[in-house]
Structure formats: structure tokens, C-alpha cells
Chains A and B, each alone.
Chain A
């Protein structure tokens, strides 16, 4: 914009004169601005604004102030706010101005409102009526203003009030109104999607609007909709393609052109939509090849805007189902970007390259020299993006060079975000591709010292876990550990005061555990180095605790030294430290005890943690008996704390005994502390998840490139993946050399670069392309971690066991039925375990205790389940299965036929009668339909069915007593079953009494089992409702479940499997997390939050019902085991 002339302040007076009309009004503003520009210090400015604001305050509260003056005041208030001063007292006047003023005042009023108030601001409610009025105004300008404000800030709860009016505007004759209405609806869709669900048809109308502006606005909505569910909009592909074609063909009015490119924003929007539609969909992609080709061709002009379109186009080409010809063109386009002298284009080229190397790593090879130049670029942003690109092409051969580059960059970087982001990547690469122990440990040392305490906690955690768990070979593990010990001893001998706490912690842990591996070093030396750290003031008390526990672990140290140390620390202010010192003292004096507490070389998997803390039960009940307050889960405490913050309107009670009040105070305080610490301790899995998500950008990207690769001719020459790297290296270096060859006489500097290139891009050549493309199959990580245990060893213990039990159960399914015709096989034990569910042993309030007990109980019962006859929950099964004719369902009454129902299974039979049953799932109850068939040729009389079940409420709906049952006919009786309290399985018993001959009554007993699963119904809620509900629920259970990884997206597959098995409602799936809701009939809801955690699905359930989560969890486990 070279034609924008910079005027200087000397032009001020002239400027004033030239302004007329509106300018008069804003004279005070001018004075204000002018005087501010004349000020020299911030202090003076503050004073001036303070004066100004108090003047404004006076004016706004004066009754004599006219609307017109108010308008001027408002502009000044906006100015003060912009300078960063608080003028919140004018907010209400802004609303008033919009409400009461004429068009002019409204304009200012609305602007002020949109600048002052956030979406959530309570004053916005006062604006609703004004907006309603203006939307109905005959003045176009007023309608426009109202729509503008609605599209910017509007209280979510009030959307229904204006929605019909906004909807009407979609058919307004003026295009500007239609356009704004579309954008307002888009806004509504973003903040409250379900409120605009019914007007999707109208969006469609907007898409076909004759005005290009309206149509373009509607694309915002479509982009969002398609992003959420591309499958529902595939039929629109043709329309979008046609629109894009028309745009490209210059069919739009000229004023939509931007630097003679037709409607670029529209094009980009369309390209984005098309790429979403064509993703993983060959037939849809085929529809757009032509137009994408044209797009690539048309964007030839050398202007930013054409490059912006090209970039979008390239991305689209690489996102949709691949077409060789297009890919080739797109790759050439990237070349134009990367080679451009314009730095902005270069940047975008790198970004595009980063995107496409995920599909085709060889593309990076073509631009290696540019990449290397960019790596040394003076611009931070460019460097950063280059490293991102390198991260994507890292393999076992170039890892050392790339990691070195990343570390170099990090050493000179001081932006926290960048450091955290990149250092995590370095750690990931190191772990994945480390060529040898020394490099790995050295790199991790760098990671810890550079990342320092900014590091995400999972980096040290992962590292330590890797050391601790080791791989298959003990020898290798010990070598690695030994190397770590050596390296840390060297580090500690140096200058240690600058080392970050997290590094010190890692080192002390490793030394504590593995110092004994290093025999050449005296233990005294290790102890000396560690105690030295304790003397440093910069060492945090948390680190001190780490160091102390390391010292505790080093056996037969200098007892006197240790004792001195323990002595000095036992008077420490820090209680944890003091405790640790005590332990240290005791253990160092009693080597037997130490052997027992800290056995050396104990296997890691063997540690079992009693997560339910059952060993504390006695203590808890004693404490409760002594009057302690019952435990409350953290969220409940949080809520109570929030409530406490509100004004207490009730009078204080005077009669409160002192002891009680003090008790409640401690209760208030400790929970917060506790909740923080529990948040901390439960964190590691959380964080690792975080790290996973930050690096898993690949996940959303389609892998167009399967294992077979895309280009067949390359594939033919591709050597096997696990060919030794040495064989690959020369090949790719050669290829690199070939690339460079045409360059005339490279200078020495160039040679350096080429050398760098060959080391950076090694492994990207033909040879390793296969392994690179399938990133997951990429060179086997050097440090193969054992399957990652879940949250803690405790849960892994249980989940392991429960999965054992479930695999056991799956083996047993064939012979594991629980069925009435064979009552002797009915495993009474398994059911009785649930009958014994402790119903809160202590009278009131002991919620936690009860929880844990039930929790534990459920676990044990699952575990037990593995050893005894397995109850198959979801079906009532029978020895003679499908022989029962399915046509029995035809006998269902018409009103029940449409309900979802189970298969008909035979219950029992005798020579005269045969009974079968079918379960029908109604929202509020389970209907059990019993078919009674007369197998004889005679009439059976006085048939009466009796059904009993202790755990369920049963109600006979009809047909349980019949006077007679004709020969060869079938009668139907129904029971409605209600489950108030969940039980895993409930057994039903019943009898049918009948008379074949008068006076001679036969009885036929039958029984069956129903599972909770039969009583679970989907709970349809929106994400927001889910969120609210989640917070309001108190009982929660967490568990890791098996993740089904056999097909596609594991999370989706697993959730679908659960949905099918248990009728759950999948509310939403975002990334690696999904939320699911269900309820027990129409009663208690249960919310499930699932998160992919490594190879497991971490499930967190919440429900108002204390036992429900356990049962649902149980059934989820079963469903997954059976899958």
C-alpha cells in the first residue's frame, strides 16, 4: 500500500478544518485526542484520562444530557477504553443509546455495545428487546445494525427469542439483509448448534441465492457443517464444483474481483469444502479433479492472492483421493512457493511442504537446498517452520542431524511456547530413533537442561519409565542405565546450580535406582554428589525429596554421613522433607528393613497398589465414629466452595458447638489442598495424552499412501523395510548428489550445505520411502517400551486382571450360559455377590467409604467372574438356541411391533407347553414377552403365569392368566420390568400352572437372567448439556478398557461397538476423546468420558447413582471382550 501517504502530526490543524458536519459533534473527542498526543509521559496520560472519565461520568448521569450529546460521550468512552482505561460505567448507557436513540445514536450505541461487551456479559440481556424491535423496523439501516450486533455478541440463552425474526430475514428482498441474517445464523450455529438445526433447508436456499455475497456467506455455515459430518453433504459436491467453476470462469460481477482474481475468498472457501468432501472418498473426489486442475492452472498470476489460492488448492489435492496427474502439478506448485524470493511465499511453501511430506516424504528431497537455507534463515518464524518440516521427515538415519538442529534452535530461543512445543518433539524423536545409548542419554540431558521446568511432566516420566521398564533384553537395559548413571555423575561433578529442577529429579532418581550398576564408582562419591545438591539454595523442596529418596535407596552408604544429614533435615520446615528424613534415618540403621521395603531389582509389574485404599477402612470408620466429617469427592467440595463464596443470607447460628465449627473449617481447607495434590498425582497419564495429541497431527490427515505406496514404479525397486540402514544410505546420498550435480561449481560454503543436505535427507530416497510413508511402521523404535501401563500400576493391575477375566469369559461363552432349564448350573454365587452389595454400612454420609467399597466390590466380582461360570449378560440363552421360530414375533401386539426387540429364545418346555420369551426395549421399561405355546392337540385350561424377581419391579401387563389355550396355538403375556437399582444380572423365576385335565394342575417352572444392559437406554443430550450434567454428577469411576484396534479409528470403532452392545448414545467424538451418555431406563443418567490412552481406552464414568457406573463399566468391558 505504497499510496498510503503518511501524514504527520503537523497536518493536524488542517485536518480539523477540513472536517465538517459530524466533526463538530466530536470536537471534544478531537480535543481529547489532541491533548493526549501532546503528552509526554504515561503518568500525564493517566491523569488526563482520569479527568476525562470523571467528566464523562458526570455527564452521563446528568438528566439534561441529550441523546446527541450522549453519542459524543460514548465515542469518547470508546476511545478511553481503547487506551486501556476502564469505562465500564458507560456500558449501560451504550445499551440505552441503542435502545432510545435515533438511527444515528443507535449506530454509535450498537458499536459501543459490540466493543464493550463480551458474549457472556449480563448487560447484554437488556439489549434483547432493542434488537427485537429493530429487527422488525421498516428502516433498513436499523435492521442491518441489529443483525450486525446479533452476529457479533448475543446472549446464547436468548437466541430463541430472535431466531424467527432472523430466519424471516433470509427471504428479505435486500441482499445485505439476507447476507447478515446468514451470518447471524452462522453465529448461532457456532454457539448453540441445536437451536438452528431445523433451518438447514434454509441454509440450502441461501447457498443458491442469486446474490454472490449471500451465497459466499452461507459457505461459512456449510464449511462448519461439512467439517462436522462430511457424509451428510456429499450430495452437494456437484453444486460446490459448479459454483467454483463459475467463479473461475469469471461469471461473478467484476467488483468481487480482487486484484483481477475473481472472488478469491469464495474460491478458498470452496476449496476447503471440497477437500473435506473428497477426503477418503474416491467417487466424490473424482467429481472435483477437473475443477481442481483448472484452479491450479488459473492461478498463474504472480500475486499473493493467487498463491493463497494455490496453497489451498495444493492442500486439497493432497487431502482428497489422490490422482497422480494432479499431485504432480501440485508438487510443482509447491516448488514455486519454496523457491520464491518473497519470504512470505517461502514460508507458506514450507508449510505446504510440511503438510505434503506426510504423504510423500520424497518431496522434501527436491527442495533440500532451500530447506537448508531456510534452516539458517535469520527469521525466527521461517526457522521454526523448517524444523517442523524436518521433524516430519526424521528417520533413524538423519535423526542425529535433525535433533542437533532442533537443539541449536532451542538454545537460542526464549519463547516459552516454542520451547515446550519443540522440546517435546525432540524427546519423541530421541526415543523413537536413537542410534545408540550414549546419544540418547546425551540428547535427553539436553532436553532436560534446555526444556527445564517448562517441560511437560510426561517427558521425564516417559524417560524414567523407559529406563525402569526396559526392553526385552536385560543386558541392554543395564547398559543404558549404566550409561545414564555415568553421564549423570559427570554432570553432577560439574557446575550444578543452573540445572533445572526437573533434571535434578531425573538424575537423583536414576542414581538412586541404578548407581549400584556402576561398580567402579564409590558409593560415597554418589552420596557426596547428591548431598551436595541438598546444600544448594536453588534446589526446590520437591527436588530435595527426590534426592532424599535416592539416598534412601543407595545401600550401605556412609551411615554417619547419612545420619548427620537426616538429623539436620529432621528439623526442616517442610513436613514431607522431615518425613523423608525420618525414613532415611530408620532405614539406614536397619538394613534388613531396608531390604524389605526397598528390594533391589524387584520387577516393576509386580507392584500392586490398592487404589481403593481398603487398608484405611478401619482408620476411616474409627475417625468417623470419632466425629470426623465424611469424605467428599473433589468436585463436590469445589461446588461447595463456590457456594460458600456467595453471600450467606442466612443468619449465623449461635448454637453451633465450637468443636464442630472448627472441624468444618479444616474440612473446607484441606479439600482444596487435597484436590490440588490429587490433580497433580493423577496427572501423568493426562499429560502423556497431551503430548500425544500435540504430536499426532498426522491423525487427522488421511493416509492416501498406504503401505503399498502410491507410485507403483518406485515401489518395485523398494527394498524391504528392515534392510540395514547402511545399505540405504549410499543410495540416497547418491540421489542427493544427483540432485545437486547440475549446480555450477559449488563454493565451499555450498559444499558444507550439501554435506548437511546429505545427512539431513538421508533415508528419504527411494530405499526408505516405504518405511517413511507408513510412519507407524517406520524403523522400529530403538527403545521398545513395554506396553504402556495405564494411569498407575494399580489400575493396570486391575485392568489386567479384568481383561484376563474377560478373555477367560470369551473362551467360556459357549458353555457359559445361565439358564433356567438347567437351574443347577445357575451360578448362584455370582449373583449373590451382587446381592451382598454393601448398602452403606455406616448410616449416613459415608459416601466415599461406600464408594470405594462398592468399587472394590465390583472389581472383585469381575475378577471372580473369571473363575466361575460366566454370566452372559446381554442375552437370555438357551441350550437349544435358534430352533425357536422367529415368527413368534409376529404374535406381538401391533403397538409393540415397532419397538426394538431381542431374538426370541426358548425358555423351557414340557410335553404340553413350550415357553419362549422376547425382550422389548421401551424407553421407560423393559418388556418381557412370554410366548406360551400349546404343543398338544388338546385345549389347555387355566393357564396362569407367575413371574417373580426380587431385584426388579414387575408388572403384568396382560395375558398372564388365560382360561384356555387352544390346541397348537400360542398366547402372549407381557411383563413390564423396571430396574431402580442396577444389578449386573438379575434372575427371574416363574412358573406356569395349567390344567390339561380338569382338577389336575401341572406347573412348569422357568427362569432366566436379565442383565443391566437390557435396562440401559441411550440418553440423547447435546455436548453442552452433557457438560453441565457432568459437573452436577457426583459418583465417578475410572477404568482402563480395551481399545478395539482392528479397523479404522480405534476410538470410533470401540465406541460404536459399545453403542451397539449397550444402546449408548455417542454424544460427540473430538480427536482422541469421546463422550457417551446413557441412562438406566428413564431414571439415573450415566455419562461416560472415553479417552484413548495409548493402547487402552481410559473410561471415566459419572452418574448420580452410586453403583450405576460400576455396572455400566462392567458391561462395557464385557462388550469389548466379546467383540
Chain B
């Protein structure tokens, strides 16, 4: 893409999310979301294959429908309550429609069908942006309307998302689709705790962003988009596969790593609100996620898959120059568990 056009798209993308985050009027929130959406469409279509064009069209249709639902909900709220403030969503029907709009934007079940296909249809960097940056604005809106969210709908969606995120990712070998299903499941965990303690949703979001960003950075550096390509990275970047092990185990929520903190605190918060059956279901379904992360770890670092012998001996190992804060994020993914008492105090 022309550098000028690329700068304009990126700046519109960033400013769109920022406008939604700082807005107090529904119209500005909508404008920020629209700017976000239409700035990322040419980024999805950059390599111009039919796959990418189809992914861009699917993304556009879903996000445009969700924006229309957002406008309708905001107008309904204005019609019955006379004000446009983002935090005062008092009309229950409007709040319901707004919740559905945001669930569509986030890609949570039952509106999750576009996430694997759009993530797979484009390059790794753009799918990283779709799975991380694009989640910020809808989650910010949901954070601000939490008092009026319909509890049944959001808890149903959360359970369905965790189920579908875990179960759908089991049969995948393409790494972008695996990350997409992982994103669906993490959104489910965030939605489950949102009505009880929104700060924990923010904590989960922050840690999810760190894990996803680290995982994608490794995948981008190793240029691997499928499991079979991941099996050959031990040869070129041996340290990266060890780091990938840490990040994936952390995403799965295993205890001494940081990924355990959000799951633990969410389970604690749900149990404090006597929501025990759902908590049990969520914890069991998180194991499905852990299984396909373990399969990736098995393929990349724990075992050596059969290769030709001239692949086994590399005399020069290049370390990549730009690491995009990977060491910082890996340290956070590995070592942040002892900080959890401070996080409990903050929430």
C-alpha cells in the first residue's frame, strides 16, 4: 500500500478506538467504531487474494450490522429517556439491543462465525490487530453499560463462547484459526465476570492482550501459519519455541504462570455471587482450550517431528532484530502471579 494511505489508515484505526474510549455521547461512540471498521477493511484486503477479499466482506457485513444495532439501541434509549449519555442506559430494551450489538462486534457466540474465517483470511499482523485492538472499543462500551446488562443473556453468551471457543479449536491445524477460537473463549471469560466485577474484566483483557500479542509476535517472527510449519521452527529460533511454550501454557491458565490469575479471580468472583454450576462448567470447558495449546506445544517444542536430515543441522542461527517488546511480555506472562494480592486489593 502507498505509505501515505497506510499512515492514514493506521491513524484512523487508532483514533477511532480512542474516540470511542473517551466519548460520553452515543453518536461519538458510534463514530469511533465506524472509523475503526472502515480503516481496517483495506488492511484486511491488502494482499488482494480472493480469500482476503472474502474475509474483508464478511468483516464489513457483520460489523456494519452491529453498528446499525448500536444506533438503534442509542435512539431507543433517547426516545424513552431523553438523553444520550453513554453510562445512563436505563431502557431495558435498548440495553438488550446494545448488548447484542457489542457481542456481534466482539465475535462472541452465537455471533462467532466470522472470527475464524476473517482471522484466517488475512496476514498474521492484520489478524493480530483484529483480535487485539478491535476488541478494545466494544469492551469499553460494555464496561460502561454494565449496570443495565441483561444478566441471563450475557451469562448464556459467556458459557456458549467458552464452549465454542474450546470445542471449535480442537480440530484446527491453522494457527490463525486456533488463535481466533482462543479469542472467542477468552471473550467468554470476560463476559462472565463483567456484571459482577468489571475491573476483573479489564484485568482479563489486559492479560489476554499481552498473551495474544506475544504469541502472534512469535508466529510472525517464525513466519509460521500452520502447525506443521511450527514444527520446523526449533531449528531456526530455538529460544522462541520455549517462549511459545510458556505463553501457551499461560493462556491455558496453568497455575504458576500469570494466566492463572484472571481465571482464578473470575472463578472466585463468580462463586462469591453463588454462581457455582456455571463456574464449574466454565472451568471444565477451559480444559478444551488447554488441550489444543498443549498440542501446539507438543508439535513445536516437546517433540521433534520427522524432517529431512539436511534440516537438522543449522550452523548459523539468526536472532531477529525487532522483537516488539517480546521479552517484557514474556516476563509478564511468566512471573506476574505473585502480584495478584495487589490486583485483588485494586479490585
Partners in one complex: no
